[in-house]
Amino acid sequence: MENYRRAWDVLTDYGASVERGNEFFNRPKRLRYVPPIPVAYRFLNVAKLHVDIDLVVNVDGTVRDILVTDSNADRRTQGDVRLAMRNARYRPKFVDGEPVQEKISTRWTYVIPDNLRRSDAVNETSDEHVEETG
């Protein structure tokens, strides 16, 4: 946090131009995020998955109150995205040189490669015997 305060001081010429600092630090910025990779068998007639999320970035850059607001992904993938966001870290929003918590909305997207798209459901418990030739 001390580095952000120093950056604030430099950007604002030590308080002479607070507007400049408020403009640069006007919203949280994601610093660390490891996105989930969805399981391939769930891609049924979909070219792109998305999960829209509302969350709160705390003054220390941690995340809380993660809420899925819209999605075309299955519940497991939504849960994976929520977990990934819980572990994400942000630079907080600053107002007049001080960090403040901020509610933000974000969208996670995953474009499904053509070779992984499926047009029918896969039955994982199928008893069908597949004979290999070699």
Looking at the chain, the whole-number percentage of residues with pLDDT higher than 70 is 79
Q: Is residue 47 part of a domain?
A: yes
Mean pLDDT of 46-61: 93
Q: Is residue 79 part of a domain?
A: yes
Q: Is residue 93 part of a domain?
A: yes
Q: Is residue 125 part of a domain?
A: no
Range of the domain at 55: 2-116
Is pTM beyond 0.95 here?
A: no
Q: Is residue 134 part of a domain?
A: no
What does the pLDDT look like over 62-102, one tens digit per residue? 999 999 999 998 898 999 999 999 999 999 999 888 899 99
Q: Is residue 127 part of a domain?
A: no
Give me the number of domains the chain comprises.
1
pLDDT at 19: 81
Q: Is residue 133 part of a domain?
A: no
pLDDT score of 131 more than 80: no
Q: Is residue 130 part of a domain?
A: no
- In 3-state terms the chain splits into helix, strand, coil percentages (rounded to 5) of 25, 35, 40
Mean pLDDT of 15-23: 75
Q: Are strands 93-95 and 98-100 parallel, antiparallel or unpaired?
A: antiparallel
pLDDT at 92: 94
Distance CA 60, CA 99 (A): 8
CATH number at 88 reads 3.30.2420.10
